[in-house]
Amino acid sequence: MTKPLQQTRLIALDWGTSSLRAYRLGADGKRLELRALPWGVMQLPPAGTEPNAGFEAAFEQACGDWLLAEPGTPVIAAGMVGSRQGWSEAAYLEVPIAVAHIGSNLNVVCNRHGQAIHIVPGLIENSLLPNVMRGEETQVIGALSLSGDNATGHAEHILIGLPGTHSKWVHVQHTTAQSELTHFDTFMTGEVYAALCGHTILGRGMEAAAPEVASVWHGFERGLQVAGTAAGAAGVLSTIFSTRTLGLTGVLDGAGQREYLSGLLIGHEIAALKTLLQNQGRLPDRVMLVGEDGLCQRYANGLHAYGFAGIEIVQQATERGLWQLALSAGLLPHTERTN
């Protein structure tokens, strides 16, 4: 068997509820190869009845050949694979937490060939309304590694937004010496949007449309504004009904209604976030967005509409985060650069 042309330094797995992405990373964390598989924690491949047979089979498909070609390559994984329903539970670490502390608390599980898989723990913030994340902590670490040096001398407050099924907004106090993850909020915006479109009367008048249709962007922008109006004080349980009535009154067509609801929910999320930030005196110096490109663009527009500045969309945060965590866990030779 011939070795790959470029040596693998790390196998990094982004293993969520409904998908598994396997990165083969080379020197300096450079991406050499990526595989996307449908084997999320809640939908594993058919396998034997032994405990964890589904995880073993998915792992084998994801990177078995890479390990055969280069035995001993370290493996790291983040996401729901470390949950109670995952391969091996990696207990939550408590927020606030120094970011560097996360990499020294990886959980190790060995597969049937004795290969160690280092699993990143999720984070919990205990309060009146507790908050949890799994996987996003890794993206936050990746985003921070791409954030450049803070040469100001004082701690910079970075807000990192991770829009998606459950959006997370993570606060980091960032200095050259240390970064501390101080607080985070969750908004179920993506999942609520899907439930409203698929399982309430709001979805009945909707149609999908090509993204270039003018009414689409118009609908989104119109929805985005609502939370900032006097009527927006009624809150999202009330304002969403206008998706239907603006259809009934002929203002929005089917495609426009779908986009309007998207803008309306994102607008309420960002307006509420701003209220929280103002109440807590936590207004950020800058905002980094991590996630699917089109969705990040919607959130960037929303942040702009509600007066946020210094907004940046970050790429490849997951693989960068897994690389950083492997470094701080000592899985890579110290000669590897951190960026």
Binding site for a second copy (CB under 8 A): 124, 126-132, 166, 185-189, 191-192, 194-196, 198-202, 226, 229-231, 233-242, 245-246, 248-249, 265, 268-269, 271-273, 275-276, 279
Least distance (Å) between residue 190 CB and a second copy: 10
Q: Which is nearer to a second copy, 136 or 156 (CB)?
A: 136
Residue 271 to residue 269: CA distance in whole angstroms = 6
Residue 20: how many CB atoms within 10 A of its CB? 27
10 - beta bridge partners? 25
Q: Which is nearer to a second copy, 202 or 314 (CB)?
A: 202
Q: To which residue do tokens 């110096």 refer?
A: 285
Q: Which is nearer to a second copy, 107 or 239 (CB)?
A: 239
Least distance (Å) between residue 128 CB and a second copy: 5
Q: Which residues contact 222 (CB under 8 A, 6 or more apart)?
A: 252, 260, 263
Q: Which residues contact 196 (CB under 8 A, 6 or more apart)?
A: 202, 203, 240, 261
Contact 326, 76 (CB under 8 A): yes
Least distance (Å) between residue 266 CB and a second copy: 10
Least distance (Å) between residue 269 CB and a second copy: 6
Least distance (Å) between residue 276 CB and a second copy: 6
Q: Which is nearer to a second copy, 242 or 318 (CB)?
A: 242
Q: Which is nearer to a second copy, 108 or 241 (CB)?
A: 241
Q: Which is nearer to a second copy, 70 or 89 (CB)?
A: 89
Residue 230 to residue 281: CA distance in whole angstroms = 24
Least distance (Å) between residue 160 CB and a second copy: 16
Contact 176, 149 (CB under 8 A): yes
Calculate the alpha carbon distances from 20 to 44, 167, 283, 302 in Å: 10, 19, 35, 30
